[in-house]
A and B are shown apart, each in its own frame.
Chain A
C-alpha cells in the first residue's frame, strides 16, 4: 500500500529556510487522481494546511503562508518537497505530508499520511 515518509533537518535557525522532503513508496507521485499536501501541527495544537502540489507541477498554498512557501515535485525520485523561508519560532511544529484528492475527488479527504517530522526553529 502507499506509504509516505518525511525527511529533513529537525532544527533550523531563525530567518533561515526549512526544507523537507516526502518520499512516496508503494505508489506513484505521478497519480492523476491526487494532490500531495503538507500539513503542520504546533505541539499540542491543531492542524494547519500548508499547501499542495500536483505531479505536473501546479501548486496551491494557504494564503497565510503563501509568501514564504514553495512546494515542488520530483517525479523521477517519487518525492515532493516543502520549502518555507524566513522561519521564526512560530514555525516550530510537527510537519506531515499527506495524500489528498484533486478537485475531481472522489474521496475528499487526506487518506494517507506520513508519520510526521518535528522541526524546531531555534538559534
Chain B
C-alpha cells in the first residue's frame, strides 16, 4: 500500500501567519487522486482540496494545494482562528490511504 507521511507532526503558528503542510507518498501517485481534509475537535473531517489543487465550493481561497513529484503541499496563506485544527492528506490512486495528520496549533 502507498504510505503517506505528513510533516511536521505539529505546526505552531500565530493567526495571520502562513502554514505549509507536507504530505510525501512512498510511491508515485497521480495528483488527481490526492485530497486534503480539515478536522476540528469533535467534528467530522471536511474536504478542503481534491485533485491536489482544487477547492470544493465554499472552501476559502486562503487554502491552496500543490504537487511536486510525490510530495503534496497544503498551504494556508493567512491563518484565521478557525483554521487551527488537524489536517489529513489522502490518496485514491491505489488502495485508499490517509496520512497520519498534521496538527496546526496556536503559538
Contacts and interface: CB of A to CB of B under 8 A. Distances in A.
A49 B97 contact: yes
B92 A108 contact: yes
Interface of B: 1, 32-35, 37, 39, 43-47, 49-51, 54, 56, 88, 90, 92, 95-101
Given A63-B1, A101-B92, A105-B32, A111 B98 contact: no
Given A47-B45, A47-B88, A114-B44, A107 B50 contact: yes
A111 B47 contact: yes
A107 B56 CA distance: 9
A110 B45 contact: yes
Contact of B44 (A48, A101, A107, A113): A113
Q: What range describes how many residues of A lie at the interface?
A: 20 to 34
Interface string A96-115: 10101100010111110111
B101 A46 contact: yes
17 contacts: A46-B100, A47-B37, A47-B39, A47-B98, A63-B95, A96-B44, A108-B32, A108-B33, A108-B35, A109-B37, A109-B47, A109-B50, A109-B56, A110-B45, A110-B47, A114-B44, A115-B43
Contact of A115 (B44, B47, B98, B99): B44
